Amino acid sequence: MSGPLPGATYKTERGIDRASLSEIIIWLAIVFLFIIMSFFSPTFLTIRNIVTVIKNLTTVAILSFGLTFVFISGGFDFSQGAILLYSAILIISFNPGTIGGVFLYSLLVMGIAVLFGTFNGVLIGFFHLNPFVVTLGLRNVIAGIIFISTAGMTVGATAQSPVLEYLGLGRFTRWLPVQTVFLIGIAIICWFVLRFTLYGRKLLLVGNSEIVSAYSGLKVEQLKCSSYIINGLLAGFAGILLGSQVSHLLPELAWHYDYDAITACAVGGISLLGGRGTILNTISGLLLLGFINNSMILLGLPFAWQQILKGLVLFVAVAADVWVRRKLYE
Task: Render pLDDT for 90-141 as a digit per residue (tens, 0 to 9).
Answer: 999 999 989 999 999 999 999 999 999 999 999 999 999 999 999 999 999 9
Rounded mean pLDDT, 275-302: 92
pLDDT score, position 328: 58
Closest CA relative to residue 25, chosen from 16, 37, 13, 38 = 16
Assigned domain for 12 exists: no
pLDDT of amino acid 17: 59
Within a domain: 305: yes
Segment (H or E) for 278: none
Q: How many domains does the chain contain in total?
A: 1
pLDDT confidence of residue 329: 56
| Per-residue burial over 161-179, b = 16 or more CB atoms within 10 Å of its CB, e = otherwise | bebbeebbeeeeeeeebbb
What is the CATH number for 179? Answer: 1.10.3470
pLDDT tens string 202-220: 999 999 999 999 999 999 9
Q: Is 5 inside any structural domain? A: no
Cα-flanking dihedrals φ and ψ of residue 39, to 5°? -85, -30
Domain assignment present for residue 25? The answer is yes
Domain of residue 94, residue span: 18-328
155 occurs within a structural domain:
yes
Instruction: Dump the DSSP string for 74-135.
Output: T---S-HHHHHHHHHHHHHHH---SHHHHHHHHHHHHHHHHHHHHHHHIIIIIS---HHHHH
Q: Is residue 88 part of a domain?
A: yes
**Mean pLDDT value of segment 236-252:** 89
Q: What is the mean pLDDT of residues 255-284?
A: 90
Quick: pLDDT tens for 40-83: 999 999 999 999 999 999 999 999 999 999 999 999 999 999 99
Q: Please state whether the predicted TM-score (pTM) of the whole model is above 0.85.
A: yes
What's the confidence (pLDDT) of residue 305? 83
Query: Is residue 235 a contact partner of residue 113, using CB atoms and an 8 Å limit?
Result: yes
Nearest-angstrom CA–CA distance, 20 and 60: 24
Q: What is the mean pLDDT of residues 230-254?
A: 89
**3-class DSSP state of 70:** helix
Looking at the domain assignment, is residue 131 inside a domain?
A: yes
Average pLDDT, the chain: 89
**Does residue 188 lie in a domain region?**
yes
- pLDDT at position 321, please? 66
